Chains A and B, each alone.
Chain A
Amino acid sequence: MQPHGSTPATVPNRPAAAPAAEAERRRRVRRSAIFFAVIAAAFYFGFIAMMLARGMK
């Protein structure tokens, strides 16, 4: 039942990403966020449209 103490950690890190890579990552983040928002909106409006189409039969 003992918690375990400190592990002497070494955290070797990489150098920070280059500005070009960072800009590309920001673009990918923006693009994928918009993509998923469009999918969510499509499900929302799609189900309402499906019900409308069904009601008009």
Chain B
Amino acid sequence: MAEHRAHAAPHATEDHKPHGWRRWVYATNHKDIGTMYLVFACTMFFVGGAMAMVIRLELFQPGLQFVDPQFFNSMTTMHALIMIFGAIMPAWTGLANWMIPMQVGAPDMALPRLNNFSFWILPFAFTLLLSTLFVPGGAPAGGWTMYPPLVLQTGASFPMLIFSVHMMGASSILGAINVVVTIMNMRAPGMTLLRMPLFVWTWLITAYLLIAVMPVLAGAVTMLLTDHFFGTTFFTAAGGGDPVMFQHIFWFFGHPEVYILILPAFGIISEVIPTFSRKPLFGYEAMVYAVASIAFLSFIVWAHHMFTVGMPLAAQLFFMLSTMLIAIPTGVKVFNWTATMWKGSLSFEPPMLFALAFLFLFTIGGFSGLMLAMVPADYQYQDTYFVVAHFHYVLVPGAIFGIMAGVYYWLPKWTGKMYDLKLATWHFWLSAIFVNVLFFPQHFLGLAGMPRRVPDYAVQFTDWNMVSSIGGFAFGLSQLLFPYVIIKCVRSGERVGNRAWEGAHGLEWELPSPPPYHSWTTPPSDAVIARGAAH
């Protein structure tokens, strides 16, 4: 420590740390940018969540009560775009910014100014997207998938939608390039690839996915734009184009996107479970290969989202079987997390509680995914609430709980203070109970035939919709505890040491809490790296 301080102390006074608004607008420090990403994601989570409350309010009873159908469809479209591109993805990038340099022994991200640019694109993108609520014709209402020809009927908000999606894509690509370049070039000597923490591994693979598929989305929306404004007919049947082709291109992006949203959660769960089991991760290398296999398979399963458009039997069989193959590496991961806990000395602090809920509830989402992978069954489930239940099980107790596990795990490291564990435990239990009240009944509604993206429904669906809405309101309210716990921690948390959790391993826990402005101004030694890589 003395040696570290000897390096760090003079640096702390010469770290060019700007103050006031300049610190944030001109930020190049990975921690500052990570904080901005996380605050932005949290804000968008509540904006998108407010839209979900409007949806559940309208669906509380059959009939049209509060909003007109056009606005309802705008809410479903905007809720999805905001939650995917504004909440979950920026939250992962924020966690990556905070943790990757600290975990690989680097002083900062490889491209700090690009990092600043990647972040600052986002507020403009989402201001543009949200401002569509106030233009003539209203916000986009054709679904987040932007299928033509429906999306081409969007009013004045269409070019704003396309431009904002472009900006979100550019931000993600630049962020992903930064992550790959950092991991490949900035690791401390001795931090070999197979010594890296699982969170770094999952982010490396996620970043490759982003670089491969975000430009595909950008290409698809560019073609929509030229179809709308420049007379091309890429997706217009009247001019020889093919609207189904858009679906193929969109889902070539869209399915890997699902894994972009969930793979970093796998990394966090792989950090949290060993810490609170006080055991090394079971099957570290198998976990790395499982994540890589899932990423590879994600490129060859896209058409399972569109079985009902009509495709050759051979294609249906191929996409059905390739989708089912994903269950194998995913099963490896679930098995390894369970085996890590086996005979461990378990304790149930909030990060572990969220990780355990992830394990159970993400598996439910995985199983309903397998049901949807079966072509004959999918014909029944397509466009019903069963699909809504499936992907919300994957994304809320999957991705969102993963983010919460990560924030509760590393918050003491970031702030140097421990949060109110009792309040965070309350946050967990309210979230875990009401997320099930919210989404589990949607399986029944879907199996009974209730279509998605409708503001009104037949009366036989009323009871479960009421239950789901009550769960939704309670889940939404309970999320207010999350920022409260964080703010309370920052203001008045109890001081913690370097290693805030007894069983924690990894380079980040070797640094002081909170860590210095520049994390590893000189690379850590082999002994420190070996101690961190205790898997």
Q: Which residues of A contact B (CB under 8 A)?
A: 1, 3-17, 25, 28-29, 32-33, 36-37, 39-48, 51, 54-55
| B211 and A40 form a contact (CB under 8 A) | yes
Contact of B496 among A5, A37, A46, A47 (CB under 8 A): A5
Give CA–CA (A40, B222) in the complex, Å. Answer: 15
| B177 and A36 form a contact (CB under 8 A) | yes
Residues of A within 8 A of B509 (CB): 7
Interface centre among A32, A40, A51 (most CB of B within 10 A): A40
| B510 and A55 form a contact (CB under 8 A) | no
Residues of A within 8 A of B525 (CB): 12-14
- CB of B141 within 8 A of chain A? no
| B111 and A33 form a contact (CB under 8 A) | yes
A55/B110 contact (C-beta < 8 A), A36-B181, A40-B215 known: no
User: Chain B 498-522 against A: per-residue CB contact (8 Å), 1 yes, 0 no?
Assistant: 1111100000011110000000111
Contacting A at CB under 8 A, from B150-200, are: 173, 176-178, 180-181, 184-186, 188-189
| A14 and B177 form a contact (CB under 8 A) | no
Q: Which residues of B contact A (CB under 8 A)?
A: 1, 3-4, 7, 110-111, 114, 173, 176-178, 180-181, 184-186, 188-189, 211-216, 218-220, 222-223, 233-234, 240-241, 245, 249, 347-349, 412, 418, 421, 425, 496-502, 509-512, 520-525, 527-528
A31 to chain B: closest CB distance in Å?
9
Can you name 26 A-B residue pairings with CB atoms under 8 Å?
A1-B425, A3-B496, A4-B502, A7-B509, A9-B498, A9-B499, A9-B511, A11-B511, A11-B524, A11-B528, A13-B521, A13-B524, A14-B188, A14-B524, A32-B181, A32-B184, A32-B185, A33-B111, A36-B176, A36-B177, A36-B180, A40-B177, A43-B215, A43-B219, A45-B219, A47-B219
Residues of B within 8 A of A6 (CB): 496-499
Residues of A within 8 A of B234 (CB): 51, 55
| B347 and A1 form a contact (CB under 8 A) | yes
Residues of A within 8 A of B223 (CB): 48, 51
| A40 and B522 form a contact (CB under 8 A) | no
Interface centre among A6, A12, A13 (most CB of B within 10 A): A13
Give CA–CA (A16, B211) in the complex, Å. Answer: 32
A51 to chain B: closest CB distance in Å?
5
Q: A9-B511, A28-B185, A36-B181 are in contact. List 7 more A-B contacts (CB 8 A).
A: A11-B511, A12-B528, A15-B522, A41-B215, A43-B213, A44-B218, A54-B245
Residues of B within 8 A of A29 (CB): 110-111, 181, 185-186
A10 to chain B: closest CB distance in Å?
5
Give CA–CA (A8, B2) in the complex, Å. Answer: 11
Q: Which residue of B lies closest to A46 (CB)?
A: B219
Give CA–CA (A8, B484) in the complex, Å. Answer: 31
Give CA–CA (A39, B520) in the complex, Å. Answer: 31
A9 to chain B: closest CB distance in Å?
5
Give CA–CA (A49, B241) in the complex, Å. Answer: 14
Give CA–CA (A10, B524) in the complex, Å. Answer: 10
A13/B219 contact (C-beta < 8 A), A3-B421, A33-B181 known: no
Contact of A13 among B3, B111, B241, B499 (CB under 8 A): B3
Residues of A within 8 A of B219 (CB): 43-48
Residues of B within 8 A of A17 (CB): 523
Residues of A within 8 A of B527 (CB): 12
A8 to chain B: closest CB distance in Å?
8
Give CA–CA (A44, B218) in the complex, Å. Answer: 7
| B212 and A5 form a contact (CB under 8 A) | no
Residues of B within 8 A of A16 (CB): 521-522
Q: Which residue of B lies closest to A42 (CB)?
A: B215
Interface centre among A6, A17, A25, A45 (most CB of B within 10 A): A6
Residues of B within 8 A of A15 (CB): 522
| B528 and A55 form a contact (CB under 8 A) | no
| A7 and B233 form a contact (CB under 8 A) | no
A51/B421 contact (C-beta < 8 A), A9-B499, A13-B523, A40-B214 known: no
Residues of A within 8 A of B7 (CB): 13
A1/B348 contact (C-beta < 8 A), A7-B498, A28-B185, A39-B211 known: yes
Give CA–CA (A55, B498) in the complex, Å. Answer: 61
Give CA–CA (A26, B349) in the complex, Å. Answer: 42
Q: Which residue of B lies closest to A32 (CB)?
A: B181
Shortest beta-carbon contacts, A-B, top 3? A6-B497, A4-B502, A44-B215
Give CA–CA (A32, B234) in the complex, Å. Answer: 34
B495 to chain A: closest CB distance in Å?
9
Q: Which residue of B lies closest to A3 (CB)?
A: B418
Give CA–CA (A5, B1) in the complex, Å. Answer: 17
Contact of B501 among A3, A46, A48 (CB under 8 A): A3
Give CA–CA (A15, B4) in the complex, Å. Answer: 10
B518 to chain A: closest CB distance in Å?
12
A13 to chain B: closest CB distance in Å?
4
